[in-house]
């Protein structure tokens, strides 16, 4: 079975942002150029940084992102270099526009998955979130990738704006021939999070709605023979909390050299590592690594600090539920 990004204990993933430029302006985009940089990495730098992380954690999964990674003219070279370095899997996250004829420049033996982003089962739901024409481009890109023999996954970012339409996705996934489905919760980060209008419209869904919808849709997808991954998000008060920063190895690399271990921190200079002169060094304190070991009744300490509005008022000092780590997820296989 082909491998791709893994959200389990002891997993190792390298999320490599080659650039922050994109042809779309998705309303919920997490990219923050002030914190992540505006430059596009040249292929020599990409090569050196890939080598750096391959040595740090052999056989990790590498995921190429942006911005839109297919805008990078040397993406195919980066893919082949990843293979030569021994990465366990190579995934390209894309909005589906597939620039630089990328499908003709790499093979299914080199790329384990093309992972497409779609946030609605129709243009009327997806396009207001991701941009006019993006549904058509994405579904056309999926068809082109499948025609060439590539494995395809699809990412659906759940918010108040599209939760009511998630139940229509299993049929679409079947029609498109998608191999894996990733449901993810919207993160309150990126430039949009500063705008109250966007923040209210794109807010995270409440606990009751999440539990009523997500597990049922996931089961429906799995019954169609598609592996589905989704975040648990909400833990019962007596359920143990684990932080991926302590039990897994995830690295979010940005063009300015910052390396985060937790995606919730990416709007702030809380990165625990940075690349200087092609060496990975610890960032100045206080940073995210100092927060990972903290134990609080609410579960995820990063969530409590950065996006606390998904937590209810504590009753007598004890919260009604905890927030799970966003990097440790549930998976249902057919």
**Domain extent listing, the chain:** 12-239+326-332
**Per-residue pLDDT at 204:** 81
- 81-88, Cβ contacts within 8 angstroms, sequence gap of 24 or more: 81/46, 81/47, 81/50, 82/50, 83/110, 85/50, 85/51, 85/54, 86/54, 86/58, 86/59, 87/14, 87/50, 87/54, 87/59, 87/60, 87/61, 87/62, 88/3, 88/59, 88/60, 88/61
Task: Give the tens place of pLDDT for each residue, 129-160.
Answer: 999 999 999 999 999 999 999 999 999 999 99
* DSSP H stretches of helix in the chain: 33-36, 43-56, 75-85, 102-105, 123-130, 134-147, 169-176, 196-201, 207-223, 244-247, 288-291, 301-306
User: What per-residue confidence (pLDDT) applies to 203?
Assistant: 75
Residue 18 contacts residue 46 (beta carbons within 8 Å): yes
Give me the CATH code for the 12-239+326-332 domain, please. Answer: 3.20.20.70
CA-CA distance, 223 to 208, in Å (whole number)?
Answer: 24
- Provide the pLDDT for residue 332: 96
Q: Report helix, strand or coil for 299.
A: strand
With a cut of 50, which residues of the chain have pLDDT below it?
Answer: 190, 192
Q: What is the pLDDT of residue 188?
A: 63
* CA neighbor of 159 nearest in space, from 302, 7, 307: 307
- With 0-12 CB in 10 A as exposed, 13-18 as middle and 19+ as buried, what is 109? exposed
The sign of the CA dihedral 274, 276, 281, 282 is: negative
User: Which among 246, 221, 230 is positioned nearest to 326, based on CA atoms?
Assistant: 230
Strand 234-235 and strand 227-231: pairing? unpaired
Q: What is the pLDDT of residue 306?
A: 81
């Amino acid at each position: 079975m082909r491998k791709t990004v893994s959200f389990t204990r002891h997993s190792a993933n390298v999320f490599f942002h080659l650039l922050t430029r994109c042809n779309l302006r998705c309303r919920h985009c997490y990219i923050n150029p002030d914190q992540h940089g505006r430059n596009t990495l040249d292929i020599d730098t990409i090569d050196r940084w890939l080598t750096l992380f391959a040595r740090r954690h052999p056989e990790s999964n590498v995921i190429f992102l942006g911005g839109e990674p297919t805008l990078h003219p040397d993406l195919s070279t980066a893919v082949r270099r990843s293979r030569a370095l021994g990465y366990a899997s190579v995934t390209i996250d894309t909005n589906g526009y597939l620039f630089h004829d990328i499908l003709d420049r790499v093979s299914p033996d080199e790329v384990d998955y093309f992972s497409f982003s779609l946030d609605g089962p129709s243009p009327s739901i997806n396009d207001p979130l991701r941009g006019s024409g993006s549904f058509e481009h994405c579904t056309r890109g999926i068809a082109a990738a499948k025609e060439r023999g590539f494995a395809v996954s699809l990412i659906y970012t759940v918010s108040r704006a599209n939760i009511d339409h998630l139940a229509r996705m299993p049929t679409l996934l079947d029609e498109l021939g998608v191999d894996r489905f990733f449901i993810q919760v919207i993160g309150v980060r990126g430039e949009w999070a500063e705008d109250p209008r966007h923040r209210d419209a794109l807010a995270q869904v409440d606990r009751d709605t999440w539990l009523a919808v997500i597990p049922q849709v996931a089961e429906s997808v799995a019954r169609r023979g598609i592996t589905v991954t989704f975040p648990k998000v909400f833990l019962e008060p007596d359920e143990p909390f684990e932080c991926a920063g302590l039990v897994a190895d995830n690295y979010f690399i940005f063009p300015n050299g910052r390396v985060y271990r937790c995606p919730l921190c990416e709007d702030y200079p809380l990165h625990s590592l940075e690349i200087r002169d092609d060496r990975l060094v610890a960032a100045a304190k206080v940073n995210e690594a100092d927060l990972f070991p903290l134990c609080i009744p609410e579960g995820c300490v990063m969530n409590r600090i950065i996006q606390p509005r998904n937590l209810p008022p504590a009753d007598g000092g004890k919260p009604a539920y905890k927030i799970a780590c966003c990097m440790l997820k549930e998976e249902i296989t057919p």
